[in-house]
């Protein structure tokens, strides 16, 4: 009965979403205004019901109930409990249920917590959130039912893709989904603002925490996904411009632009239309990303064609939300009063330039991702767009973006006629010059793009901390600390990317026991091989001795075999030092009895993910600072002491 109870909860949640939609949009007029009082209740009930449905699905996976088709296809009786549970969202139906669960819970939180918006804007925002949820409920109930029974039940289950049986991938999708769905809130706020014509600072202050939360989780999700690809897939890279990777990057780029724009609107009442457009674009990118990944369209356009029911649903939802929002923007944006003016040479001007460059990168990635699909769908021509296209087109724009990222926070609001910018840029420019000289002397053969990346990153790192100059650090607001840390994180990540790109050394060889290889100043020796077994796999594990100076370390790369489903994977072994990582994978045995050993020395590669964590931490500090400021404004000091 668990599956039936989950399905019933899903139907009831859909009913609550319908009522929420009527009550939300009814609140804009007079005839249904009485329903607005129930709006908060509908939103909270929808969130609880969808959470109940998802909890039922988790229970079915935890018990390995093989009478449910989704469990039988994506789980196995011998699988570890962590991956049994992760299997609930490691498939199409379950991931879409997780999507709508996060969406409806977010709507419930808006209903409970939102106090900044006026009544009509609040009602319109929750009404839009209800419409979005309705589409996903319909998709689940009529096309992708996660609770469908299987008759007769399967004996053991097919298991989960072994590549997904990793702690990083167990937590990666939920993290990304919180980011995706947070952008739906921004979309709903934007729709509410357009319907009511109130796109001022109050609208921006209400939307900003949700954008920040979304951006933080997207940053963490992309960072975690990149590190998982690096250590789990065994190819030694951290980003391949794969369409699945791009599907998460595109919403992040749009959310980054939106985050800066909404901050300007909240603080200076400028960029109203631009903020609304970015809110629509950010959610459009999250929709496109979600459906690109989950529809099967990425692996083959023909696979999409053989599933017309889901494909039609996907196209209808895309047309309704993205197309409908753009039509609304075109027809109602004229009613949104223009915001406060600002001079081009100002912090607002710098933020606009940043946003334009971010949008340019977004457009490049979007075109490169969709073009092969369009070419195959329309002309039957199979082609691929790979790293050479993305590297040559996005890196130059990103380098220019770093210049504005360094200079923008040093400008004054409204108009900067002080002439102080050159003086503030002396230290960052000096850092870049020093970095250039050191690289030309110590690494004369460095490629042009890695060289520019390192030089610009040095300047950006120094420019990031200049806003703290002359401040009392303990009294500096947390949002300022957040900005400093996030910009510093970008510089740190770029140092890691440029170093990995410019200085990585690779060695691939077939070796016998005792043979020694050299890579990046390391001497590496294959000592032997041992059989090992895990909860649902067996493996051949190598003992690899790595030597440098007086140091000795043993690495254990594995070649694993899974039985359900049948698959072989390579588990890399990593040796982390302060200045880089030694990366080793074990390949197959050849006819002469030698074993393939693949080695990389990757200087400062860890800085890529450290930078990502710093960026997210900067966002978290900004969020805490904003929430605390709102708390202090809402409650008098005497009441705050009562909370302590």
pTM: 0.92
**Is residue 303 over pLDDT 50?**
no
For 273-282, 324-333, 426-435, 586-595, which range has the lowest pLDDT when averaged over its residues? 324-333
Task: Using pLDDT thresholds of 50, 70 and 90, give the confidence band for residue 270.
Answer: confident
The percentage of residues in the chain with a pLDDT greater than 90, rounded to a whole number, is 54
Query: In the predicted model, what is the mean pLDDT of residues 217-246?
Result: 90
Of the ranges 325-334, 384-393, 464-473, 549-558, the best mean pLDDT one: 549-558
Q: How confident is the model at residue 302 (pLDDT cuts 50, 70, 90)?
A: very low
pLDDT at 301 over 70: no
Compute CA distances 273 → 203, 280, 335, 375, whole Å: 12, 11, 10, 34
- Per-residue pLDDT band at 89 (split at 50, 70, 90): confident
What DSSP designation does 198 have?
A: -
Q: In percent, how much of the chain has pLDDT > 70? A: 92
pLDDT tens profile 136-157 = 999 899 888 999 998 888 888 7
Checking if the pLDDT of 637 tops 90, the result is no
Distance from C-alpha of 416 to C-alpha of 350, rounded to nearest angstrom: 11
**Which residues lie below 8 Å from residue 412, measured CB to CB, with a gap of 6+?**
346, 347, 418
As a whole number of angstroms, the distance between CA 159 and CA 8 comes to 27
pLDDT greater than 90 at residue 491: yes
Question: Per residue in 167-183, pLDDT tens?
Answer: 877 788 889 888 988 89
pLDDT confidence of residue 31 = 59
Distance CA 483, CA 471 (A): 15
**Residue 378 has what pLDDT?**
78
Note the residue count of the chain: 644
Q: CB 104: neighbour CB atoms within 10 A? A: 33
The number of beta carbons lying within 10 Å of the beta carbon of residue 88 is 25
**Residue 29: band (very low, low, confident or very high) from pLDDT cuts 50, 70, 90:** low
Peptide bond into 565 cis (omega under 30): yes
Residues 6+ apart with CB under 8 A from 426: none
**Residue of 491, 344, 347, 496 lying closest to 424 (CA atoms):** 347
Q: Of 214, 201, 1, 11, whose CA–CA distance to 102 is shortest?
A: 214
Q: What is the pLDDT of residue 463?
A: 95
Section 397-415 average pLDDT: 90
Name residue, tokens 């931490």. 617
Other C-beta atoms lying within 10 Å of the C-beta of residue 527: 12
What residues are paired with 548 via a beta bridge? 551
For the segment 355-372, the average pLDDT, to the nearest whole number, is 93
Q: Check if the beta carbon of residue 245 is closer than 8 Å to that of residue 239.
A: yes
Does an H or E element contain 574, and which?
strand 573-577
DSSP state of 412: P
pLDDT of 207 > 70? The answer is: yes
What confidence score (pLDDT) does residue 635 get?
A: 64
Give the three-state DSSP class for 511: strand
CA-nearest of 498, 517, 523, 504 to 601 is 504
Q: What is the pLDDT of residue 33?
A: 58
Query: Where does the pLDDT of residue 27 fall: very low under 50, low under 70, confident under 90, or very high at 90 and above?
Result: low
Q: What are the tens digits of pLDDT across the range 506-554?
A: 999 999 999 999 999 999 999 999 999 988 889 999 999 999 998 999 9
Is the pLDDT at 292 greater than 80? The verdict is no
- Burial code (b: 16+ CB inside 10 Å, e: under 16) for 193-206 equals bbbbebbbbebbbb
Q: Exposed, middle or buried by CB within 10 Å (0-12, 13-18, 19+), for 582?
A: buried
């Amino acid at each position: 009965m668990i599956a039936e109870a989950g399905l019933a909860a899903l139907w009831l949640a859909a009913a609550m979403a319908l009522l929420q939609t009527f009550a939300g949009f009814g609140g804009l007029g007079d005839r249904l205004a009485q329903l607005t009082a129930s709006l908060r209740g509908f939103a909270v009930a929808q969130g609880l019901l969808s959470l109940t449905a998802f909890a039922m699905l988790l229970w079915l996976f935890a018990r390995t109930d093989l009478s449910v088709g989704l469990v039988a296809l994506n789980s196995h009786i011998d699988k570890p409990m962590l991956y049994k549970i992760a299997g609930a969202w490691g498939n199409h139906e379950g991931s879409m249920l997780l999507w709508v669960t996060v969406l409806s819970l977010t709507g419930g939180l808006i209903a409970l917590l939102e106090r900044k918006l006026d009544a009509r804007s609040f009602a319109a925002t929750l009404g839009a959130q209800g419409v979005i949820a309705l589409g996903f409920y319909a998709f689940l109930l009529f096309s992708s039912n996660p609770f469908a029974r299987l008759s007769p039940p399967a004996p053991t289950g097919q298991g989960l893709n072994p590549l997904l049986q990793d702690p990083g991938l167990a937590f990666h999708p939920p993290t990304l989904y919180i980011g995706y769905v947070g952008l739906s809130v921004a979309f709903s706020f934007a729709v509410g603002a357009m319907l009511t014509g109130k796109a001022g600072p109050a609208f921006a202050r209400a939307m900003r925490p949700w954008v920040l939360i979304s951006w933080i989780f997207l940053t963490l999700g992309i960072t975690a996904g990149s590190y998982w690809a690096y250590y789990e897939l065994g190819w030694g890279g951290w980003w391949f411009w794969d369409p699945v990777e791009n599907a998460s990057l595109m919403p992040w780029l749009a959310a980054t632009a939106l985050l800066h724009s909404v901050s300007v609107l909240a603080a200076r009442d400028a960029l109203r239309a631009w903020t609304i457009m970015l809110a629509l674009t950010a959610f459009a990118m999250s929709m496109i990303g979600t459906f690109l990944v989950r529809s099967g369209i990425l692996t083959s356009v023909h696979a999409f064609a053989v599933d017309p029911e889901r494909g039609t649903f996907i196209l209808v939802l895309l047309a309704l939300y993205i197309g409908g929002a753009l039509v609304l923007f075109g027809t109602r944006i004229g009613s949104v009063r223009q915001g406060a003016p600002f001079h081009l040479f100002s912090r607002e001007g710098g933020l606009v330039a940043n946003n334009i460059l971010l949008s340019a990168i977004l457009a490049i990635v979007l075109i490169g991702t969709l073009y092969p699909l369009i070419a195959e769908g329309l002309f039957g021509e199979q082609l691929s767009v790979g790293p050479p296209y993305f590297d040559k087109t996005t890196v130059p724009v990103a380098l220019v973006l770093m210049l504005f990222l360094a200079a923008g926070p040093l400008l004054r609001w409204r108009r900067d006629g002080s002439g102080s910018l050159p003086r503030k840029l002396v230290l960052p420019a000096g850092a870049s010059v020093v970095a250039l000289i050191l690289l030309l002397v110590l690494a004369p053969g460095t490629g042009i793009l890695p060289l520019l990346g390192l030089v610009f990153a040095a300047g950006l790192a120094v420019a990031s901390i200049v806003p703290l100059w002359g401040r009392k650090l303990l009294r500096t607001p947390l949002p300022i600390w957040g900005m400093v840390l996030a910009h510093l994180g970008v510089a740190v990540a770029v140092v890691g990317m440029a170093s990995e790109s410019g200085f990585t050394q690779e060695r691939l060889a077939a070796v016998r026991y005792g043979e020694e290889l050299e890579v990046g100043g390391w001497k590496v020796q294959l000592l032997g091989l041992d059989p090992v077994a895990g909860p649902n796999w067996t493996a051949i594990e190598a003992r690899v001795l790595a030597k440098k100076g007086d140091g000795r370390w043993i690495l254990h790369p594995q070649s694993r075999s899974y039985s359900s489903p049948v698959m072989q994977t390579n588990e890399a072994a990593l040796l982390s030092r302060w200045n880089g990582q030694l990366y080793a994978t074990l390949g197959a045995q050849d006819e002469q009895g030698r074993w393939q050993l693949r080695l990389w020395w990757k200087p400062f590669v860890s800085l890529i993910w450290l930078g990502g964590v710093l960026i997210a931490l900067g966002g978290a500090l900004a969020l805490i600072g904003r929430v605390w400021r709102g708390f202090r404004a809402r409650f008098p000091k005497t009441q705050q002491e009562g909370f302590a």
